[in-house]
Amino acid sequence: MRVISGKYRSLVLTGFAGREIRPTSDRVKESLFDILSGRVVSARVLDLFCGSGALGIECLSRGAAEAHFNDISKSSLGVLSANLKKLKNCPPYKVTCCDYSECLLRLCGKFDIVFIDPPYSSEAGLGALEGIARRSLLAEDGVAVYERDRAFAGEAEGLTLFDERKYGKTYLSFFKVSK
C-alpha cells in the first residue's frame, strides 16, 4: 500500500497483518482519485471507516485542507497513527475512535468528500449515508463515496446516486446531495 500522488507520493503505508482487513487496492484507489481529481485540493475530507487511513492520507497528499479520520477499531487506529507519523508538514487532521453513527452525531460543518468503506459484511454504509444526509454533513457540491462488494440497491434519503463503477469485486458508488 502506497500513496499514489502528491507531496507524499510513493510513501509506503503501514498495512494490516492477516486477511481480516481489506484495504482499498492501489488500482481501485488510483481510479477513484482520477474521478475525484478536481475535488481534492482544499477539500474538507471525512474518512469514516478509515482503517489504515490510506484514502484520507491520499487526499492530504493531493492538497486537501483537512481530514477527519474515524474508526471503531483501536488496532486500525494504531495503524493509522503509524501512517500519520510518516507525514511531514501535514495539513490539519483529527482522529476519533467511535462507532460511525456516534461520529456523525459529533461532527460539525460540511465535508467536500466523504469516504464510506465499512467491512463488506456490514450494512453500516447505508446507515452512514442516511446519517450524513440527515445531519446535512455533505457540502452542496460534495461527494460521498461508498465502497462495497456489490452494486448499490435501494435509496439513501437526501442523497442521489449519480455514478457507480466496478473494479474486479469492488464497487464504488458516488452520491451527491439531492436537489
- Cα atoms in the 13 Å half-sphere on the side-chain side of 92: 5
Domain boundaries, the chain: 26-177
What's the CA gap between 172 and 177, in Å, rounded? Answer: 17
Tens of pLDDT, residue by residue over 109-159, are 999 999 999 988 888 999 999 999 999 999 999 999 999 999 999 899 999
CA dihedral over 17, 19, 21, 26, signed as positive or negative: positive
Q: What is the pTM of this model?
A: 0.95
Q: What is the pLDDT of residues 47-104, one digit of tens each?
A: 999 999 999 999 999 999 999 999 999 999 999 999 999 999 999 999 999 999 999 9
The yes/no answer on whether domain 26-177 falls in CATH 3.20.20.140 is no
Task: Give me the sign of the Cα torsion angle 161, 165, 166, 167.
Answer: negative
